[in-house]
Structure 1
Amino acid sequence: MRAVVQRVLSAKVTVDDEVVGAIDAGLLVYAGAAPDDGEADVRYIAEKVSGLRIFPDGAGKMNLSVAEVGGAVLLVSAFTVTADARRGRRPSFDSSASGEVARPLIEALEGALRAAGLRVATGRFAEHMHVESLNDGPICILLDSRRIV
């Protein structure tokens, strides 16, 4: 499982001109699953997202987690984060899980983030979404449960 984590001042996702998820300050997380991902991959990403110390403390040092600053998470499923673009100019999505495999994993990630005490808003799985964000920093972190990045 991979996730692109962005520190934001605000973010929202719309589907067919309807806002389906929105947060104020916190993390915008684009998450995608691989065909052989499982519970351990979900747990790894959830622990990293909830524990990343990428918010400034009183001294301005990145030392606080999203929970410590009272932030929220906007979780957006995005199979494209598992794409392989090493060859040619068109990315391959062979390393992306099918919808049947990915949906329960993304739902499990949402549940794990909620279980960690975070407020979580989401997009809509397998829908064409428009995502707006006001990045802060910018701070963008790539997480991979296989630890290859």
Structure 2
Amino acid sequence: MIKNRIMMIPQEDVNAELIATSVILRDLLPDPSLGPMERIERLARVIEDSVQIGQYHRTARIKLKEINDRLDDLVPHEYMTAIEKIKHLVSLADQLVPEETERLCQKLQYIGDRRLRDNGSVASPDWSPELMNHEVALGIMRTSGKTPNQMTFVKEDIHTKGDG
């Protein structure tokens, strides 16, 4: 029996609740360097007997090192800054999906994520190695009739129920 209610509710409700929770946390603690769990960890300070969870309380230096390490893995060019590497990745997305979209996330959703996972799993049960080739995967998307602009995204001005 599944005891966690999150595992039992429809995916649309999970998405809506995650968005509402993330928005309220962002509004309360707007520091852009914090993720949702780091914001909760900050709020946990008001509970006297709570224990600080280290993975949600990392220094700026550690976060920046992790960002740079991952960017170095993706774009191994020692003379490029992190910002230049990010711009390079965006440029690659624009080359793969040249259509104009309102948001970069629409292009990324259109490209899809068929990469192998670090835990050894694959993206979906119908995954095959040829789907890792962008030309093949984007060809399938284009022949399906879907366009990049049909991909959805969360608008920043979203408000949660009851916050007026």
TM-score scaled by length of structure 1: 0.23
